[in-house]
Amino acid sequence: MAPEINTNDVRFFSGQSHPELAQEITDYLNIPLESTYFSRYSNDNLYIQLGASVRGRAVFIIQSLVKPVSDNLMELFMMLDIAHGAGAREVHAIIPYFSYSRSDKKDAPRISITARLIADLLETAGATHVMTMTLHSPQVHGFFRVPTDPLTARPLFIRHFAEQNPSPLDTIVVAPDMGRANAAARFGNRLSLPVAAAEKRRFSDSHVEISPTVLRQVEGYRRAIIYDDEIATGTSMIELARLLIEGGIQEIAMVCTHGVFTHNALSKLSRIPQITEIVTTNTVPIPKQIRPPHLTVLSVGPIFGEAILRNYSRQSIGDLFPFGEENATP
């Protein structure tokens, strides 16, 4: 018999960043999403009140760190603090998109390793557990001192492309940089496709350089699936697509977990006719009015819902981790 959550033992709340995904998660669990009241004082200070008692219960607060990131982060801190101060037994921070995971190292003088700072502040605010998806680099997991579960959307992408039955004779998976090579290899291996990795140097959000050595790796293939964790401005994807097209690639599919798509990235990518498909998830809300016809958005609601269910019932969620689903079926 499948485990169930005692609805009187838990409380689910959503910040204002992505209530649609919060609703999908609670729908999967057949648990109500409780009300939360937000307002501003005249001095612009934020006021939040949770709409249901949390005393002695396991509390789940769902908030993606999307624009406006600082406002949404402050909401999350306050909601965690409210639950902790009101006597919650456990306080779970469910953060589908942890945007600060890109700030994972000190690569310039006098800067903050902000991913570590945010991890510390989440604990200070009252989080006893964190659940997120596809951190920019594995080392960010180690910044958290509370139990943290970084999930993966890879099974969704595998299932999507398996239905297309891609052939290893004409299709190759391409990682846009060496940092994504292992993730791309896991994806490619599950589809029995060859894998290539580009060499990228980033100088700014709008300036990247990719070595043409990737052309030797994709020679003879007609189709490429570029596999990344995030697309923001699209600069890397556009530059890599340009190189692949020069190398003879005729058709490009782009895959990313977090479709941030800032600075008209979707429009820019849509102007490249060889890009026939962009596949992402809903960790970041994408307004329907800006979605081009070739954009596919897959829901991570069931993944988070299943992970929460297993966590609540003290079952393993190892097969939902980035390194854990190799033996699962698509």
Q: How many domains does the chain have?
A: 2
Share of the chain above pLDDT 90, in %: 84
Same domain, 289 and 236: yes
Pick the catalytic residue from 105, 106, 200, 268. 200
Mean pLDDT (the chain, rounded):
93
- Has residue 3 been placed in a domain? no
Cβ neighbours of residue 78 closer than 8 Å, sequence gap 6 or more: 46, 48, 125
Domain containing 231: what range?
A: 154-298
Is residue 28 domain-shared with residue 53, that is, in the same domain?
Answer: yes
Q: Give per-residue pLDDT as tens, 296-321.
A: 999 999 999 999 999 999 999 988 88
The three-state secondary structure class of 211 is coil
Taking residue 27's Cβ as centre, other Cβ atoms within 10 Å add up to 14
pLDDT band at 206 (very low <50, low <70, confident <90, very high): low
Both 107 and 192 in a single domain? Answer: no
| Whether residues 138 and 34 fall in one domain | yes
Does residue 1 lie within any of the structural domains? no
- In this structure, what token pair is assigned to residue 297? 């958005």
Rounded-to-integer distance, Cα 273 and Cα 283, Å: 26
The answer on 145 and 18 residing in a single domain is yes
For residues 63 and 94, what is the distance between their CA atoms, to the nearest angstrom? 6
Q: Which residues pair with 47 in a beta bridge?
A: 39
**Tokens 């297993």 belong to residue:** 310
Q: Which residues contact 27 (CB under 8 A, 6 or more apart)?
A: 301, 305
The rounded Cα 201 to chain-centroid distance in angstroms is 23
Q: Check whether residue 120 and residue 192 sit in a common domain.
A: no
Q: Are residues 280 and 305 in the same domain?
A: no
Catalytic-residue membership of 200: yes
Give 252's pLDDT tier (boundaries 50, 70, 90): very high
Whether residues 194 and 130 fall in one domain: no
Residue from 237, 231, 138 nearest 182 by CA: 138
**pLDDT at residue 166, rounded to an integer:** 94
Find the mean pLDDT for residues 124-143.
94
Written as six digits, the tokens of 73 are: 């982060």
Q: What is the pTM of this model?
A: 0.94
